Amino acid sequence: MISPLDETWRSLLDDVARERKWPTSSDVKRLASNVRALSSAYNDGAQAPAARARSADALGARLLFSFPRDVPKGAAAVRELLSAGLLRIPADRPLRILDVGAGLGAMTWGIVRALAGAGQSGAVEAFLVDEDPTAIELAARIFKRRAGEGNVRITARCTSGTVDDAAARTDATFDLVIAGQLLSELHRDRPDPERVTRHVELVLSLLKRVREHGALVIVEPALRPRTRHLHAVRDALITPPRPGVTLFAPCLHASACPMLTNPGDWCHEDLPVNLPAWLVDVARGAGLRWEGLTYSYLILRRDEAQLAGSLVPAQPDGMRLRVVSDLIVTKGKCEVFLCSEAGSLVRPARLDRAHSETNASFRSLVRGDLVTIQPFSERRIERETSVKRCSS
Ligand SMILES: C[S@@+](CC[C@H](N)C(=O)[O-])C[C@H]1O[C@@H](n2cnc3c(N)ncnc32)[C@H](O)[C@@H]1O
C-alpha cells in the first residue's frame, strides 16, 4: 500500500523551509511559481542540471514539492521485491542501502516507508551520495528531524560526491542500491549510443556494490525519451547475457524490449497514488498533475531471482504478462497491451459477450498489473479463458 506523505511530513518540510527562509507549503502562490520554473527548466533541458536545480528557489521547490511527490516512487519501485520476499530487514543487522544521486533522500524514505508498510521492523542504515552539497545537506536536515517510519528506524550518512566515486569504492556492499532519477541527468551532452554504453558501464559498476542476494533499483521519470533511454540501457545490459546480471523487473523476460520497435511506445507505471491534499493547489498553480504516480524503473539482481518465477510457476498453456497500457474500451469489447514472458507485445481483446466469471478481471486491469492468462491466445480472451491478476 503506497500512500502520500501526511501532515507530520508537511510540518517537518515546512520547518526545514523556514530555517532557510524559503516559502512554506502555505505560501501556495510563490511555491507554485518556483515549482513551475523548476519543472520547465527540467523539461526544456536548456539549462545544465546544476543551474536548474540548485538555486534557492529551485531547492525550495524540490524540498516542498519534488520530495513529497517522489517518496512514493521509491516505495512503488520496490513493491515487487517486497511482495516476492526479496527485500527484508535482516534480524541480526541493519538493512544497508546506498542511494546515489540521492538529492534530498526521497528514494531512501520511499523504501523505508515501503518496509514499514509491509509490516517489517528493525534498522536501516543508509548512505546517501549526491554531488550537490546543498541538496545532500538538506537530506541530512530531514534525517535529523525524523528517525524512521512505523517500526523501521533509520540512520543515515549523507555525503557530497559523484556517483562514479560511490560506484568505484570497493570496500562496501549493500542490500539495496538505488539511483533515483539520476541516469537521465548524466552525460546529456553525449550522443547515443555512446551515452547508452557509458550508462551500462555505470550500472555494472553500481551492481558491484550490491550484495549477493541484493538488488539495484533504477527509477526514471516516465517521460518517453528518458524511459526509452532506460529501455536501451536495459537491452544493452542483458544482450549478450552477463553472469551476475539478472533482470528482475519490470520485465518478465530477458528478450529485447518490444517497446523499442515503435518510437511512440514506452513502458512506464501510472499508479493510482495522488499528491497529498496539501500540495494539490501548488500543483494546480504550477500547471502540473496531482493525480497518479508516474515513473519507469528497472531492477537488477546479482542472484538469479526473477519476478515471473517468484509470482507463479509457468503453466504449459498459460502465459504470465505485464499490463503496459491503459484499458482500451470500445463498443462491444475491451483490449489492453500486454508484455509477455515470451518477450512480445500483444493486444488481446475480450468481447463483451465473452464475459465470464473466469475472465472477469480482464475488464479491471490497470497499467503495471501482472496477470496470468490460460489458455493463452494473443488475440482473444474467450469465455473459458482464465485471467488472474497476481500483482502485489
Ligand atoms: C532529479 S534529482 C533526483 C534526486 C533523488 N534521487 C530523487 O529521486 O528524488 C538528481 C540528483 O542527482 C544529482 N546528480 C547529478 N549528477 C550527479 C553525479 N554525477 N553524481 C552524483 N549526483 C549527481 C543531482 O545533484 C540531483 O540531486
- Of the candidates 344, 347, 345, 356, the one whose C-alpha atom is nearest the C-alpha of residue 382 is 356
Test site for ligand 1: of 54, 78, 182, most ligand atoms within 8 A of the Cβ = 182
Q: Which ligand 1 atom minimizes the distance to the CA of 132?
A: 25
For the four alpha carbons of 266, 267, 270 and 275, in that order, the dihedral sign comes to: negative
- Which three cell numbers mark 373? 492468462
Beta strands in 182-249, from DSSP E residues, in sequence order: 210-220, 246-249
Residue 188 CB coordination number (10 Å): 10
Structural domains of the chain in order of their starting residue, each with its CATH number? 73-309 (3.40.50.150), 313-389 (2.40.50.1010)
pLDDT 10s digits, 255-268? 999 999 999 999 99
Check whether 47 has a pLDDT greater than 70. no
Say yes or no: CB of residue 49 within 6 Å of ligand 1: yes
Check whether 84 has a pLDDT greater than 90. yes
DSSP labels, 12-81? HHHHHHHHTT---TT-HHHHHHHHHHHHHHHHH--S-HHHHH-SHHHHHHIIIIIHHHHHHHHHHHTHHH
Per-residue confidence at 252, pLDDT binned at 50, 70, 90? very high
Q: How far apart are the first and last CA of the chain?
A: 9
- Chain Cα centroid distance, residue 32: 25
Distance 170 CA to ligand 1 centre (A): 21
According to the model, what pLDDT value does residue 49 have? 57
Per-residue confidence at 309, pLDDT binned at 50, 70, 90? confident
Q: What is the mean pLDDT of residues 368-387?
A: 96
Map grid coordinates 549478450 to a residue: 240
Rg (CA), the chain: 21
According to the model, what pLDDT value does residue 50 have? 57
For the four alpha carbons of 307, 312, 316 and 318, in that order, the dihedral sign comes to: negative
According to the model, what pLDDT value does residue 45 have? 62
Say yes or no: CB of residue 323 within 6 Å of ligand 1: no
Rounded CA separation 385/382 (Å): 5
Rounded CA separation 321/269 (Å): 15
Which range (38-52, 100-114, 268-282) has the least confidence?
Answer: 38-52
- CA distance readout (Å), 60 to 54, 55, 88, 138, 145: 9, 9, 34, 10, 17
According to the model, what pLDDT value does residue 1 have? 77
According to the model, what pLDDT value does residue 10 have? 98
Check whether 46 has a pLDDT greater than 70. no
Per-residue confidence at 361, pLDDT binned at 50, 70, 90? very high
Test site for ligand 1: of 130, 142, 205, most ligand atoms within 8 A of the Cβ = 130
Distance 112 CA to ligand 1 centre (A): 19
Rounded CA separation 196/167 (Å): 17
